[in-house]
Amino acid sequence: MRIYTRSGDDGKTSLVYGRRVGKDSLRVDAYGTVDEANSAIGVAVAQLRSGPKGEWQDVISALERVQRELFDVGRELATPEEKRERAFVTEAHVEGLERDIDRWEAELPPLTRFILPGGEPAAAVLHLARTICRRAERRLVALAGRESVAAPVRQYINRLSDFLFVAARVVNHRARVSEPVVDFEP
């Protein structure tokens, strides 16, 4: 299989099952942004793998699971609703993120100030992935205003940004790196 097909040279791409849409369509923008978040998570996983063995394994496993789930988010977004035989993302996926968040928050000190992205390099990349995830959520909201987007997909992406925030915090905490903070008075 060739990596290039030349079929996108006209500014269009194919959804699953062949329907052609513009590369600037909201649907393509949404799943492209999900792919960006997935790539940033991959960078964080690579950085964690180069660190102390064992200390990060639960974080790495959760992030790798999320990468597979984000592939399913993209697959759902790239499959026209009339061709989708089943949901690729369900409430169980959202609940999985919530379980990880709750487990990790139990080991973290409470939030008392605003946290700036940074600290351990992998944590900084997780914060970057979080902001990309927030952009993906904005794209999904725009898409949902025009086309059908399954509720679990929207919920998953919303919860994922929280998951990535807490994952970044737990990486900094376990590395004993102080989180950059800022005071904010309304």
Q: What is the pLDDT of residue 101?
A: 98
pLDDT over 70 (residue 6) = no
pLDDT in tens, 97-107: 999 999 999 99
Task: Examine residue 1 and state whether it is found in any structural domain, yes or no.
Answer: no
User: What is the rounded CA–CA span in Å between residue 66 and residue 60?
Assistant: 10
Q: What is the pLDDT of residue 126?
A: 98
CB 125 within 8 Å of CB 43? yes
Q: Which of 115, 105, 107, 128 is nearest to 178 (CA)?
A: 115
| Number of domains comprising the chain | 1
Q: What is the pLDDT of residue 186?
A: 64
Cα torsion angle, 62, 65, 71, 73, sign: negative
Please report which residue ranges of the chain form alpha helices under DSSP H.
Answer: 26-49, 57-78, 91-105, 121-144, 151-174
Q: What is the pTM assigned to this prediction? A: 0.89
Q: What is the pLDDT of residue 88?
A: 86
Lowest mean pLDDT of 26-40, 46-60, 117-131, name the range.
46-60
Task: Examine residue 59 and state whether it is found in any structural domain, yes or no.
Answer: yes
CATH number of the domain bearing residue 109 = 1.20.1200.10
Range of the domain at 19: 12-181
pLDDT over 70 (residue 21) = no
Task: Examine residue 108 and state whether it is found in any structural domain, yes or no.
Answer: yes
Task: Examine residue 25 and state whether it is found in any structural domain, yes or no.
Answer: yes
Of the two residues 112 and 81, the one the predictor is more confident about is 112
> Average pLDDT in the 71-90 region?
83
Q: What is the pLDDT of residue 96?
A: 98
